[in-house]
Structures are given as C-alpha cells and as structure tokens.
Chains A and B, each alone.
Chain A
Amino acid sequence: MRLLILGGVAAGTKAAARARREYPDAEVTIVTQDEYVAYAGCGLPYFVGGEISEAKELIVRTPDEFKQENGITVLTRHQATQIDPAAHTVQVRDLMTGAEDGFPYDKLIIATGAVPILPKIEGINLKRVSTVRGLTDAKKIRALLDTGKLHTAVVIGGGFIGLEMAENLARHGLTVSIVELKSAILPGFDPEIAALTKNHLIEHGVQIYTGEGVTRILGNAHGEASGVVTDARTLPADLVILSAGIRPHTEVAAAAGVRVDVRGLILVDEYLRTSVADIFAVGDCASVRNRITGADTYSPMGSTANKTGRLVVANLFAPTEAFAGVQGTTIVRVFTLNAARTGLSTEEARAAGYDVETVLVPTPDRAHYFPGNRTIITKLIAEKSTHRLLGAQVVGEGVVDKPIDTLALGIAMGITVDALSGMDLAYTPPFASALSSSIVAANVLLNKLAGKVRGVSPCELALDDPALQLLDVRTEPEYLIAAIPGACNIPLAELTERRGELDPARPTVVVCKVGRRAYSAALQLQRAGFTDVRILDGGMTAWPFATE
C-alpha cells in the first residue's frame, strides 16, 4: 500500500506512525510545507515565554528519525498543489527548488491543519508582526524577545493562544495589551468565567480591550511595528501577535471535489472518511461531531488531532474504529489562574433547545484546613426536566483539571446531577474535601432543581433595577472589605431581629461570600413571606464586577 499523508504536525505524524505499525510493508510518505514535523504546537507559547528553554524540546521526532527508525519518508518544505482522485495522484511542489512531481497513492490522508485568520488591515506585513502557528513563528518571536529591546506588545485576539501568549510575553517583562473584537475573552466559556479570567489578567498587568476592532498597525522608519490602532485608541507595540482565530487549510482538497462546508472545513464521517473514496481527513482541517448535540463542528484541538490521526489508520480499508466525537473539553492556564470547560456552555445548551438550570459554586480544591488549599469555582449546567448534566466549567487558582476530567467523563456517560451528587470520589485532606467540589456543586444544583431556592448569575443581576433589594448577609468586617454597590448589610446572625428593615414585597437578592449563608437567609426570608427571593450565584467570590 502506498499511503500518502499531507501534513506532518500532530494528526499526520500520528497516522504515519500507526500505519507503520499496522502495515509494516506500506510505503508511507508525509508531505508538509513546514520546515519542522511532529512538534508540539500547543507548547509554542511556553517556548516563547522561556518555560520551555529550547525549541528542540518541543520536537517529538525529526524527519531523519522518521526515516531511520520508522522507514517513513518525510518531505518538508513541499506543498501539495493538486489532488487527482480519479488517477489517485497528488502533484507536489518542492518549495526550495520549485520542481514539481506527481505522487501516486492508494490511500490519502489529509492532515493539512489550519492557518491563522489574518485581519485585512494596513501594516499586517510589517516586521515584528507575527502569528503563532508553527515553530518557525515561535523561534522568530523568541529571538526578538531575547534581544531585550522590546518593551510593549499587543495581542490581537483573546482566545487560548492569545491569552497564553499574553502571559508568556509578560514573563519577558513586556507591557502587554489584548484587543478582542468580541465582547468577552475566552470564547466558549460562560461570561462569569471569562470575566473572572479577565480580572486575573488585569491584576497581572495585562490590559484588555474587548469589543474593539483593530483598524491599523503602525510602523516605524525601519519597517517594524510600533503601534496598534483600534476603534477606540492607539496602543504602543514593539511586537504584534496575531491570534484572531484559525481556519481550516483545505483549498487543495476542496478544489479536488472533497466536500467542505462554508468555512472550508472538510466534512468527514465518524470513520474520518471524506466524500471522496480513499481520501480521509483528520486534525484541524476536518469536522468533528459534537457528542451531545450531534452537530458537525469545528474543534481544532491537539487532543482531537492526536486521536483522529491514530484512529484513521484502522479505517483505511474498512470502517472499523469510529470516532465518538468531542464535547468541547478544554483547559487553559493564565498566570496562576486555571480555567477549564467540558460539555455545552449555557449559551450553547440554550441554542440547542435545552431548558437549563445552572449553578456557580466556590469551594476549596482540597480540605479547607489543609495548607495550600485554593478556591475553585464550579459551574454546572443541567437540563431541568431530566437533570442530565450538559456542561461544566471550573475556574480558579486551585486544581481544576481533576474535576473537569471527572465531569467530562460523567457528561460523556450521560450522568444526571443526582448521580453526580452520589459519586464515590477520591478523598483525603491533601487532595480533596470530604464532599468534593463537584459533589457540592451538584448538591446546590439539586436544591435549585427542586425549587428550594432561586439564583441569579452575576452577569444577569440588574443592579440598575430600582425595585431591587440587595441584601448582604456577611459579617460587618467582610462587608467593609468589599461589597456590591448598593447592597445593604444585615449579618445572617442578626437577620431574624432586623428583618423588619426589609420590604417583603420587593424583589430581593441575597449575597454572601460563597452562597451558603445566602441560602440560609433566603430560606428564612421565604418562610417569613418574602415573595421574590433569589441568591447571588457564587457570592462575592465569583462576583467579577466592581465593588466598593
């Protein structure tokens, strides 16, 4: 068998390596435009920042090693220019010499990945303006930083790469600003989680301008970037990072008649087969099914690329191993804050037609008395009628990867909030609380689903509502440290005697530090005849807006 693979980062090389094991006699060839193969693309920001000291640490295997150890031919700096499905050939150009050659194949795997979306603005071609797509980009940026002459940077785009780059540029002592066209950073996360992450970045000196478009990049006399102009301001920039999203790199496949969607995403079935016989597609250029909604989506993640690259090999001659799809599980670290998600966001769940209930629950990440514990905030999203858990997000300076993976597994298995509440999870003080963060969140959600209490998300609390009665039931010193503007303070211990200061007919929102005291207060007020009582989800701990 002649197996030809277009693309050699994660999915392509994974497929090549497994094909070599499964089909020892196959002739396996990788064709890639890049000068490097098999590198850890997701590690690039950390190499830029210096946490990974040398570029070679990110390279899993070189072309020579592929040849010598695996008998796989790797052609770097080679570009596929045309696929002829009828003749089973691919026309390939050597980017160094310009020479063209035809490569016959029996099976073709397209793993051409994605390319950055470049804003069509003046100054995009200036020096010191860079994407962060490959090792070549990252080495160039690192070399610039190592000169010590850069002082300011603007990152265009507040997605994962943008946030990771902001952190890593700040590690070099640069003053960093992020400009994001959308109203929030951290796409795919609920607005409270994104707002808390934004606050954390600001605390670490990163300026964030959301809802602003970049109109122009300014240059100096040497043709180097010197500033960025947005709709609202001009920012100094010795370095400009373009991280405003990526799109599938599939023009050659589409021209050959391989079915793509409007974005150019190659549509594949669960066996990674394209619409054309003997042509498969994996990684960042191919569609994946959302395992909750069933919709074909674009989810360009390294984890998916590795999985599909490995799976496709089993399906070259017959549909054998199906890819179950994705559920949007992702995680990011910015400075000392960690944010992770799995399943559907609140917005995605509503868009898919689910009637949902949500909670936002701060807890320690291990026993509250154990030194080193940190607060994490768990958001759960469940369908009201079935109690099925649809999505979860966890943010905080503590451990979030453990709960998110537990929740991801639960969601994949169709877990209900009731079942989550009863999970037998690992417990001992250095690692967890007796009731783990996920179980506490499930219990709060069950109280809400049972109608015992109603909540309001910080992003939905209308502080400008003149009828609103905002009651803070924390102690006086806590209230003094930070309170929501307009909140009146009646500590929980005094609520019974001082209840008369409140109007039972007005809509009342009760707030405390995490929600526990607010819940007790809300129950007490409801029993006393207050008709419209809600608690502030997540309390002051998850409140991402101004305090006084």
Chain B
Amino acid sequence: MTDYTLNCRGMQCPGPIMELFKQMKAAAPGDTAAISVTDMGFKKDIEVWCRKTKNTLVSLTEDAGVITAVVRKG
C-alpha cells in the first residue's frame, strides 16, 4: 500500500484533476493519494469524480485557502 502526495497548489483547471487522474491510473487498489489544491472549484469536482470513477474520497478538508483531499483507489 502506498500513500502518494500531490502538491497541486497554484494549478488551475484542469491541472489538479489531471494529476490525480494520472496518479490513480498508476496506483494499485488500496493506495491513497493526498492532493492539495488552491482552486476552490476542486471541492465540488473531487466528490463527483470519486463517485463516478468508483474511487473513495477518504477525507476533504479546507485550511487557510488550501483544500486537501485524500482519495483511495477503488
């Protein structure tokens, strides 16, 4: 099981979701990725993306303008 960290702060669409997409493609089931983002639109997007791609949104937090989502493959 691997825990990946993706710093996508400062990236605009479609940067963060593309980075996560690539990482999850390469990851094994059960691996997690913690992605941090400054684009607030990501908050809504990540929930829908996880639901539609059948990945698990472990947590979604916001602190000082930075959103951090932890996603588990599968």
Taking a contact as CB atoms closer than 8 A, the residue among A372, A478, A514 that contacts B65 in the complex is A372
Q: How far is the CB of B23 from chain A (nearest CB, A)?
A: 12
Contact yes or no, A513 B9, CB < 8 A: no
State A374–B14 Cα separation when bound (angstroms): 16
Taking a contact as CB atoms closer than 8 A, the residue among B17, B39, B53 that contacts A478 in the complex is B17
Task: List residues of chain A with CB under 8 Å of any chain B CB.
Answer: 364, 368-375, 397, 474-478, 480-482, 513-514, 541
Mark contacts of B16-47 with chain A using CB atoms, 8 A cut-off: 1 yes-contact digit, 0 otherwise: 01101100000000000000001111000100
Q: How far is the CB of A326 from chain B (nearest CB, A)?
A: 34
Taking a contact as CB atoms closer than 8 A, the residue among A368, A477, A480, A482 that contacts B39 in the complex is A368
Closest chain B residue to A397, Cβ basis: B40
Number of interface residues of B (CB under 8 A): 22
**B12 interface hit (Cβ, 8 Å):** yes
Contact yes or no, B13 A373, CB < 8 A: no
Contacts of B41 in A (CB 8 A): 375, 541
If the complex has contacts A477-B21, A480-B49, A481-B49, are A371 and B14 also in contact, measured as CB distance less than 8 A? no
**B10 interface hit (Cβ, 8 Å):** yes
State A372–B9 Cα separation when bound (angstroms): 11
**7 closest pairs, A vs B, by CB?**
A371-B65, A372-B65, A369-B10, A477-B21, A475-B14, A481-B48, A513-B13
Q: How far is the CB of A500 from chain B (nearest CB, A)?
A: 24
**How many A-B residue contacts, CB cutoff 8 Å?**
57
If the complex has contacts A475-B17, A513-B14, are A371 and B49 also in contact, measured as CB distance less than 8 A? no
Taking a contact as CB atoms closer than 8 A, the residue among B17, B40, B52 that contacts A375 in the complex is B40
Contact yes or no, B64 A371, CB < 8 A: yes
Contact yes or no, B10 A474, CB < 8 A: no
Closest chain B residue to A370, Cβ basis: B38
Contact yes or no, A373 B38, CB < 8 A: yes
Q: List 8 A-B contacts (CB under 8 A).
A: A368-B38, A372-B38, A374-B40, A477-B14, A477-B49, A481-B45, A513-B14, A514-B13
State A475–B11 Cα separation when bound (angstroms): 15
Contact yes or no, A371 B66, CB < 8 A: yes
| Beyond A368-B10, A371-B9, A475-B18, 10 extra complex contacts between A and B, CB < 8 Å | A368-B12, A369-B9, A369-B11, A369-B38, A371-B66, A373-B65, A477-B17, A477-B49, A478-B17, A481-B52
Contacts of A397 in B (CB 8 A): 40
Contact yes or no, A480 B14, CB < 8 A: no
Q: How far is the CB of B53 from chain A (nearest CB, A)?
A: 7
State A408–B13 Cα separation when bound (angstroms): 30
Contacts of A514 in B (CB 8 A): 13
Most buried by A among B10, B13, B18: B13
Contact yes or no, A474 B14, CB < 8 A: yes
If the complex has contacts A371-B64, A371-B65, A513-B13, are A482 and B48 also in contact, measured as CB distance less than 8 A? yes
Contact yes or no, A477 B18, CB < 8 A: yes
State A397–B13 Cα separation when bound (angstroms): 17
State A373–B17 Cα separation when bound (angstroms): 18
State A370–B38 Cα separation when bound (angstroms): 7
Q: How far is the CB of A502 from chain B (nearest CB, A)?
A: 21
State A102–B39 Cα separation when bound (angstroms): 66
Q: How far is the CB of A203 from chain B (nearest CB, A)?
A: 9
Contact yes or no, A373 B40, CB < 8 A: yes
Contacts of B12 in A (CB 8 A): 364, 368
State A474–B12 Cα separation when bound (angstroms): 13
Contacts of B9 in A (CB 8 A): 369, 371
Contacts of B10 in A (CB 8 A): 368-369
State A372–B20 Cα separation when bound (angstroms): 21
Most buried by B among A371, A474, A482, A513: A371
State A269–B49 Cα separation when bound (angstroms): 59
Contacts of A513 in B (CB 8 A): 13-14
